Structure 1
Amino acid sequence: MEKASSKGSRSSLEKRVDTSSEHTGSSEHDSALDKKVWWKIDLYVLPVITMFYLLSWLDRTNLGNARVAGLQRDLKMTNTQYSIALTVTFIPYILSEIPSNLLLKIVGPNLLLPVLLTGWGIVTTLQGVVHSYAGLLVCRFFIGLLEGGVLPGIVLYLSFFYPRRKMQTRISAFFSSASLSGAFSGLLATGIMKMHGIGNRPAWAWIFILEGLFTVVFGILTFFLLPRSPAHAYFLNQQEKDYVVGQLRADGAIGADDKADSFSWAEVRQTFRLPQVWLLGFVYFFNGTIVYSLGYFTPSIVQGLGYTPIRTQLMTVGPYAAAFFLTNVTSYIGDKYRCRGVIIVFCSICCITGFAMFLGSHHKATLYGSLFMTIGGINCSSPPLAAWVANNTAPHVRRATALAFLSMITNSGGILSTWLLGSLSPAPRYTMATRVLLSFSILMGLFAVLTLAYLHDQNKKKKVIRETTTKTEEAEGLGDRSAWYEYIL
């Protein structure tokens, strides 16, 4: 009996050690390898992906900076026409997201993503030579068509490389670049506005031309920088490649074999049967409306406080710089404590506070200060949202579909934003729009709590199943519905 007990204890201990090693690299060798591998991927993949999203956000929202620089006046556009120009971007953007994400693995992210990046850079540059409203509409359509697959594509791409527990800080690295681009675009636009008249072109044209040309050059470089997957990563040796794949499989981030992650229409349909996808759909819609309202109209909001065009561009830098800091801090907390929903609730509280300040005050400093709360709050909500979806949907096709579908919902909110502040709610107070965005901030937090409650309940049910059965008794192909796939809260 003693031997059996000893053997059982030793077996239990070995099992705990193996499990710990599998998930955290507890042995010295695995710990060193673990740090080396993720550091390498962070070094070679994250900067490229971060620049991808920075340029995507910059080239999509620089229309707001161009508007302040005289675009609307020179093209003789009404506020309604400006809203139409923004809306035209979203329609092809939304329609292209699911097809692009489903094609990502088939074509290869190392080819598809650079093609999209280079293509929209060319179109952005062409915006600088338009002479009519119709020409602007054509450019905005193709920018939307080419950029549509980028956001869900790069979140899906990161899930090829990182276990679920490491996703939010990495997603934050590129999502916070949206905050950085908001600050950077203000500084850049300030400098470019001094080029007014060079080459007989107005300042707004140079904003598009210079930013677009940089995107084209970087897009060409990415053909040589992006690896297709960990197995094709030129910066990893074979041992490191095997370790990454092993970690991803142990974590449930990828299937046990290629067949598990192969394309299946059945898996696409399964995505729309997941309650967490529909619950998060509401959160995504409210988030998207707020994100794009502030992304497109912050320069106009700041200008409405009485600042000159150049001063306006500079004043947009502060709130976005603060958002960059807040996004990275909350994402570190989110990964460290494996909490996504709580961070989103915190973000909604920041937005509620900011919109209440803007709605209830007439003091210039308070109105400007409210942007730090709203821009900071909504920007730091995006990484946990994306990570939450990527963490809690499996296998690959289900995850790809969910990310693209929810990104479509986000951009549907973007369509609402173009009209909400564009023509339905007059400047400079945007009273009706602010009330709507305040309500959406409250609802965003509410649906995040409901999602938390649902996932927590599912984890309790899965724990009961694990205690009363074995994994071999479970049906195959359950993906995230498996009792051994624990949802991250």
Structure 2
Amino acid sequence: MSSTKELESSSENGTAAHVLPEDDSELQKKAVRKLDYTILPVMTMFYLLSFLDRANIGNARIAGLQKSLHLTDHQYQICVTVLYVPYIAAELPSNLLLRTVGPRLLMPTLLTLWGIIVTLQGLVTSYGGLIAVRTLLGMVEGPMFPGIVLYLSSFYTREELSLRIAFFFSSASLSGAFSGLLAAAIQNMDGVGGKPGWSWIFILEGLFSILMGITGFFLVPSTPRDSKFLTDNQKDIIMRRLEKDRPSIVPSDRFSIREVLWSLRSPHVLLLFVLFFMVGTTLYGLALFLPSIVNQLGFSPVKSQLLSVGPFAVGFFVTLLSAYVSDRYKSRAIPSAVIASLSVIGFAIYLSTKDKFTAYGSLFLTVPGVYASAPTLSAWMANNSEPYYRRATSIALGFVATNAGGILSTWRFPTKEGPRFRNTTIMDLTFSALVVVGSIVNALLLSHMNRSKKLRRDTLLAPYTVDEKNPDGGVKAWMELGDRHPDFTYTL
């Protein structure tokens, strides 16, 4: 089923050739499918619970949380906002520590801890207590999203990554739908055990997170080599695919502040940082306030919970479709721009209409347009940063920006401005339009950088000539230049 072929690694700069088995395409597909069946469902559930446990305060609000705790709109916004400060602070350090601690230990531990915290959130009786619990929740939830993206980038090739990120990220859309259905049912437990319905939303969802976290210790491998489900041959196939896709994945580079600074100085990383901020602002605004927006359009609390399901469900399918197209055609810019255009249209309709049903219908464009942009942008960031610690930094920076946008969004939906929220809708419309423009600009920038590296090939590789004094020059070139290596092609 397999033959041998000689793979040259950067032969022009003198790296020695080596012989590896050439894997039959069916064997490769079978190995990747097994990863899909064993890794993706677990990561999807982890992120679904992360988003659900973070955003369910919006469902609890219309189930009576704000009234029960006697919170003003300002106090409620602080309770939502305070989560994002430790959340953002934890993202970069945790990504840099992920390899050292090991995903198998770190990720299930985080999920178990935040499940306990969410359960305790259902027991709070005061404004101060809610602030304290939300602060702790942000600290342990912050590492999950960037950690999953970094984790998956160690299992899949660059051109496969967008769809896999979409599989787990689309659970954010699914959690929005699921949260509405679940909250509508749970709030009927009002009075059970002497607790209000909103308390049970937190308690039951928190207990499920604890259960999933404990299960995760038995299901999460740290690397493809650690998988309990792959055969030895399949592990070899997966590793060879990764080595061919990214030569810098073979050596185990050590943490260096230099790699963090390289990421901070990369123009494509900084541009995507801005796009992530704008997407994060619109995304979290919809995630946290959609039930309240629908409620203020004139629908009852229970009906609002149920009506919030539709837009999120559509967002789930659009997210998967756009990511499939992105991977299929090896393009990030065009799918990002097209999808963001949906949200431009949706926000424009919401801004201009006076009919509540038309306004509700526009959410079927804005939610998919906002949610489906995130996986493609996330894959784009992960695709174009190498080696490992530079990639870890870039991914974390993207989510720092996303959650900084989340902080902004929490202050953009005061009840007195509903249901139109004119100023906020104009801001979201502008941000969505800028995502369209920014995606195109980033593609042009990366195309220019690809051409520039080829023209400067000899100059870039001159310090790494392979000879008797420098036998490892080829490997060193990949480790030090990373994505700036002339043989590394930026994904457009």
| Length-normalised TM-score, structure 2 | 0.91
Secondary structure class of the residue paired with 1:404:
helix
Aligned with residue 402 of structure 1, among 384, 394, 404: 394
Q: Which residue of 2 aligns with 1:488?
A: 491
Quick check: 2:271–2:442 contact (8 Å CA) kept in 1? yes
Q: Which residue of 1 aligns with 2:239?
A: 245
Aligned with residue 313 of structure 2, among 304, 309, 321: 321
Q: Which residue of 2 aligns with 1:457?
A: 448
For each residue in 1:314-373, what CA deviation from the matched residue of structure 2 results, as whole angstroms up to 9, or x when unmatched? Answer: 000100000001000010000000111111111221111011000000112210011111
User: What stretches of structure 1 of length at least 5 have no aligned partner?
Assistant: 1-13, 20-24
For each residue in 1:73-97, what CA deviation from the matched residue of structure 2 results, as whole angstroms up to 9, or x when unmatched? Answer: 0000111111100110000001111
Secondary structure class of the residue paired with 1:224:
coil
Q: Which residue of 2 aligns with 1:164?
A: 158
Matches within 5 A, 1:28-67: 30-67=24-61
For each residue in 1:424-451, what CA deviation from the matched residue of structure 2 results, as whole angstroms up to 9, or x when unmatched? Answer: x711111111111111111122221111
Q: Check if 1:273 corresponds to 2:265.
A: yes
Aligned with residue 429 of structure 1, among 412, 420, 431: 420
Matches within 5 A, 1:194-233: 194-233=188-227
Aligned partners of 2:374 and 2:286: how far apart in 1? 14
Aligned partners of 1:194 and 1:232: how far apart in 2? 45
Counterpart amino acid of residue 487 in structure 2: W
Q: Check if 1:298 corresponds to 2:290.
A: yes
* Range that drifts further, 298-307 or 233-242: 233-242
Aligned partners of 2:172 and 2:123: how far apart in 1? 26
Matches within 5 A, 1:124-203: 124-203=118-197
Counterpart amino acid of residue 430 in structure 1: F
What is the percentage of aligned positions where both structures have the same residue?
47
> What is the CA distance between 1:237 and its match in structure 2?
2.0
> What is the CA distance between 1:255 and its match in structure 2?
2.5
Quick check: 1:159–1:253 contact (8 Å CA) kept in 2? no
Q: Check if 1:416 corresponds to 2:408.
A: yes
Q: Check if 1:379 corresponds to 2:371.
A: yes
Q: Which residue of 1 aligns with 2:63?
A: 69
Secondary structure class of the residue paired with 2:218:
helix
Aligned with residue 367 of structure 1, among 349, 359, 365: 359
Aligned with residue 91 of structure 2, among 97, 116, 127: 97
Counterpart amino acid of residue 343 in structure 1: P
Counterpart amino acid of residue 422 in structure 2: T
Matches within 5 A, 1:328-339: 328-339=320-331
Aligned with residue 121 of structure 1, among 102, 115, 119: 115
Aligned with residue 310 of structure 1, among 279, 294, 302: 302
Aligned partners of 2:120 and 2:318: how far apart in 1? 35
Quick check: 1:248–1:254 contact (8 Å CA) kept in 2? no
Secondary structure class of the residue paired with 2:330:
coil
> What is the CA distance between 1:234 and its match in structure 2?
1.3
Quick check: 1:231–1:241 contact (8 Å CA) kept in 2? yes
Aligned partners of 1:253 and 1:226: how far apart in 2? 25
Quick check: 2:460–2:485 contact (8 Å CA) kept in 1? no
> What is the CA distance between 1:16 and its match in structure 2?
9.7
Q: Residues 372 and 254 from structure 1, CA distance in 2 versus in 1: closer, same or farther, beyond 3 angstroms?
A: farther
Q: Residues 253 and 341 from structure 1, CA distance in 2 versus in 1: closer, same or farther, beyond 3 angstroms?
A: farther
Q: Residues 241 and 431 from structure 1, CA distance in 2 versus in 1: closer, same or farther, beyond 3 angstroms?
A: same
Q: Residues 406 and 469 from structure 1, CA distance in 2 versus in 1: closer, same or farther, beyond 3 angstroms?
A: closer
Counterpart amino acid of residue 487 in structure 1: Y
Aligned with residue 438 of structure 1, among 429, 436, 443: 429
Quick check: 2:457–2:486 contact (8 Å CA) kept in 1? yes
Q: Residues 468 and 99 from structure 1, CA distance in 2 versus in 1: closer, same or farther, beyond 3 angstroms?
A: closer
Q: Which residue of 1 aligns with 2:279?
A: 287
Q: Residues 468 and 282 from structure 1, CA distance in 2 versus in 1: closer, same or farther, beyond 3 angstroms?
A: closer
Quick check: 2:183–2:201 contact (8 Å CA) kept in 1? yes
> What is the CA distance between 1:164 and its match in structure 2?
0.5
Q: Residues 420 and 212 from structure 1, CA distance in 2 versus in 1: closer, same or farther, beyond 3 angstroms?
A: same
> What is the CA distance between 1:256 and its match in structure 2?
3.1
Q: Residues 160 and 17 from structure 1, CA distance in 2 versus in 1: closer, same or farther, beyond 3 angstroms?
A: closer
Aligned partners of 1:40 and 1:385: how far apart in 2? 26
For each residue in 1:116-141, what CA deviation from the matched residue of structure 2 results, as whole angstroms up to 9, or x when unmatched? Answer: 10111100011111111111111100
Quick check: 1:253–1:395 contact (8 Å CA) kept in 2? no
Q: Residues 461 and 26 from structure 1, CA distance in 2 versus in 1: closer, same or farther, beyond 3 angstroms?
A: farther
> What is the CA distance between 1:149 and its match in structure 2?
0.4
Secondary structure class of the residue paired with 2:44:
helix
Secondary structure class of the residue paired with 2:34:
helix
Quick check: 1:93–1:145 contact (8 Å CA) kept in 2? yes
Quick check: 1:159–1:390 contact (8 Å CA) kept in 2? yes
Aligned partners of 1:248 and 1:382: how far apart in 2? 24
> What is the CA distance between 1:462 and its match in structure 2?
3.1
Quick check: 1:353–1:373 contact (8 Å CA) kept in 2? yes
Aligned partners of 2:400 and 2:460: how far apart in 1? 39
Output the aligned Cα RMSD.
2.1
Aligned partners of 2:487 and 2:33: how far apart in 1? 29
